[in-house]
Structure 1
Amino acid sequence: MAMVRRVLLAGSGLMLMAFLVLHLIGVAIAPLAPLQFENYASALHQSWWLPVVEGLLLLAAGLHVSISLGKTLSNWRAGNHAQLQSRRGDRLGSWSARLQPLGGLTLLLFIAVHLKQLRLPRPAPGLELLHLSASLQSPITLTLYGLACLALGLHVVQGGESAQRSLGVLSPENAGIIRSTARAVGLILGLGFAGSAGWLALQG
């Protein structure tokens, strides 16, 4: 059962990471071509397959959160705080591992706010960027976006390598490549989404 949980945690995390990479590619269109982004967003939201993908992402997110929360609570109850730290022996890895619970809660809060902004209700076609820009005029919302970008970057730094270890892919031969890749993806996602939020805030 523990092995199944590790595989589900790793698999759901990698699925969410892949979505975030694709999401960032789409979001990156906005500063370069706002009109084309709005057309892209409108076409995406009208796609028949979008509810299916959103359902799969919701399932993956629910699995990831519930298993992570259960693991964290179990470790704390057992007094085994060392399991929450990175086993790599480097400062960034250790720091990102220790901050995983706090970062996870930050990301959950961000997701709730972000979904409310874009789904309850959904902005009218052509007004998504304007709606987000108006939301980011709030210092509290902008701060939350910034903290979420930092939490996301650190989460991927630790989780990218941890997922490969849980899936049995990590080995002494590929550990360096996997670690470097996880950190590069974490940096790109964190800075990419932070840059997009900053650009939107300046449009208001």
Structure 2
Amino acid sequence: MIVGFWIAVTGLALVLFLAVHLGGVLLALVDPPTFERYAASLHQQGWLPWLEVALLAAALAHPLLSLHRAHVNRQARGPAAGPLRSRRQGPWEPVAALAGRAIPWSGSLLLLFLCLHLAQLRWPRPAAGAELVAVLEVLASPWCLALYGAAGVAAGLHLIHGTESAVRRLGLLEPANAAALRLGGRGLALLLGAGFTLVPIALVLRPAVPLPAGG
């Protein structure tokens, strides 16, 4: 129970970060000067390094706890047990089943992407006023653009399964609210997955907009 609780808490913390991060990234698409000012202001905050440490801890703890939970469940079910199958019916259920089976792969791809993303745009961090230039330099590589798009798809699949799993582990999923929570979680997964898949492509395709002097 304790492991499941922390899997849910770390997962939901990362989902909240993704939602906020996508909002910031969208600024780069619709208003580059405001994006640069936002990024420069954010990076000057004294609490940011502590938040980054907490997010990194959550990003590492979540897969490790999930692997531990999967190992314990596999031992409890025995070697002859087949994969779990949902009995629910509906247009979303085949996608949800695929997302559940793909959890190890989508999680691994997201962890790989996180390491690369941090190495490209966090260590070292771009200078104030040069954030968007650094992002576009990364996305200029077709391999990087493909990985960013694939990571967006992986995030969407991961969240289709993960949001429902998290609310269930926290004891919030009940017959009276199950349909609404599933619909909300899957809608959020679609929004974040599509956003992180399409925004990098849109950034590469949009016409260059000159930034004002000094960012």
So what's the TM-score if we normalise by structure 1? 0.92
Match of 1:19 in 2: 17
Task: Report the number of matched residues.
Answer: 201
Question: Counterpart of 1:122 in 2: which secondary structure?
Answer: coil
Match of 1:82 in 2: 83
Cα distance 1:115–1:86, how it changes in 2: closer, same or farther (>3 A)?
farther
Please give the root-mean-square deviation of Cα atoms over the aligned residues, in Å.
1.8
1:34 aligned residue (27, 32, 35): 32
Match of 2:151 in 1: 148
Q: Give the structure with the larger helix fraction.
A: 1
Cα displacement string for residues 173-199 of structure 1 (whole angstroms, at most 9, x for unaligned residues): 111101101111011101111222112
Q: Which runs of 5+ in 1 are unaligned?
A: none
Measure how far apart 1:72 and its partner are: 3.3
- Judge conservation of contact 2:36–2:131 (CA < 8 Å) in 1: yes
- Judge conservation of contact 1:86–1:93 (CA < 8 Å) in 2: no
Match of 2:196 in 1: 193
Cα displacement string for residues 99-143 of structure 1 (whole angstroms, at most 9, x for unaligned residues): 000000000011011101111211111111111111112121111
Q: Quick check: which has more Rg, 1 or 2? A: 2
Q: How does 1:88-107 map to 2 (within 5 A)?
A: 88=88, 90-107=93-110
Match of 1:130 in 2: 133
Percent sequence identity is 43
| Cα distance in 2 for residues equivalent to 1:64 and 1:186 | 18
The answer to whether structure 1 residue 61 and structure 2 residue 59 are counterparts is: yes
Measure how far apart 1:200 and its partner are: 2.3
Q: Which runs of 5+ in 2 are unaligned?
A: 209-215
| Cα distance in 2 for residues equivalent to 1:192 and 1:10 | 23
| Cα distance in 2 for residues equivalent to 1:133 and 1:174 | 43
1:51 aligned residue (49, 52, 59): 49
Match of 2:213 in 1: none
